[in-house]
Amino acid sequence: MEAWENSLKKCITSPEELAGLFHAQGEDLAQVVRRYPMRITPYYLGLIREPGDPIWRQCVPDPAELHDFTQSPDPLDEERLSPVPGLIHRYPDRVVFLVSTACAVYCRFCMRKRGVGCQGMSPAPVDEAVAYIASQPQIRDVILSGGDPLLLSDDRLDQILTALRRIPHVEIIRIGTRAPVTLPERVTAKLARMLKRHQPLYVNTHFNHPREITGQSARACARLADAGIQLGNQSVLLKGVNDDPQVMRDLMQRLLAIRVRPYYIHQMDLVQGTAHFRTRVADGITVMAALRGHTSGLAVPHYVIDLPGGKGKVEVASARFSPDGSRLTVRNYLGDEIEYRET
Binding-site annotation, residues for [4Fe-4S] cluster: 103, 107, 110
Handedness of CA 107, 111, 114, 120 (dihedral sign): negative
Handedness of CA 96, 99, 101, 106 (dihedral sign): negative
Q: What is the biggest distance separating any 2 CA atoms in the chain, rounded to whole angstroms?
A: 59
SS3 for 282?
helix
What one-character DSSP code corresponds to residue 211?
G
Measured distance CA(293)–CA(93) in Å, rounded: 34
SS3 for 4?
helix
Measured distance CA(274)–CA(249) in Å, rounded: 24
CB-neighbour burial class of residue 4 (10 A; exposed 0-12, middle 13-18, buried 19+): buried
8 A C-beta contact, residue 277 and residue 109? yes
Q: Which residues are catalytic?
A: 90-91, 94, 103, 107, 110, 112, 269, 306, 313
Q: Select from 146, 115, 142, 112 the least CA-distant residue to 130.
A: 142
Binding-site annotation, residues: 103, 107, 110
Q: How far is CA 42 from CA 21, 105, 128, 178, 179, in A?
A: 12, 10, 36, 15, 13
Q: Is the peptide bond before 147 cis (omega within 30 degrees of 0)?
A: yes
Residues making up the chain, counted from first to last: 343
